[in-house]
Amino acid sequence: MEFRENEAIYLQIAAYVAEHIVLRKWAVDQKIPSVRELAVELQVNPNTVVRAYEFLQNKGVIMNKRGIGFFMAVDAELKIKEYSKERFLGNELPEFFKNIYLLEISIKEIEERFEKFKAEHYR
């Protein structure tokens, strides 16, 4: 995983876990990778993964079953989408709008590229 410098690593790891949940790579009530497993996979300090899991746990996305590990909450996908949508609309969309305005990019071009992106990555 390539980490961006403009965002805390634990938030990027939380987004990585959230993406796996939304893309249904893990099933509801399925045990998700342990802190150590994910730390090794992403080549980060386990404390950073703990922080990401605590963040997701506070959002109600995952739950800790003591002695067993972390599991997805039943409504994890809904909670992720609500949180992510609000964050995107408040933080990222204004910057996106500014850029398409300044660069004089048409909505039609955005739509065409979005459809191409979906076809290449999610179908």
Task: Give dist(CA 22, CA 14) in Å, integer.
Answer: 12
Residue 91 counted as domain residue: no
Reported in sequence order, the residue ranges of 4-61 that DSSP labels E, i.e. its strands, are: none
Tally of structural domains, the chain: 1
Tens of pLDDT, residue by residue over 73-122, are: 999 999 999 999 998 999 899 999 999 999 999 999 999 999 999 999 98
What single-letter amino acid sits at 107?
Answer: I
Q: Residue 123 above 90 pLDDT? A: no
| pLDDT attached to residue 1 | 82
Asked whether 49 and 39 are in contact (CB, 8 A), the reply is yes
- Structural Rg of the chain based on CA atoms: 17
Q: What b-and-e string marks burial along 36-46, b requiring 16 or more CB atoms within 10 Å of the CB?
A: eebbeebebee
Tens of pLDDT, residue by residue over 8-48, are: 999 999 999 999 999 989 888 779 999 999 999 999 999 99
What CATH number does residue 65 fall under?
A: 1.10.10.10
Enter the tokens of residue 104.
């004089």
Domain of residue 20, residue span = 9-76
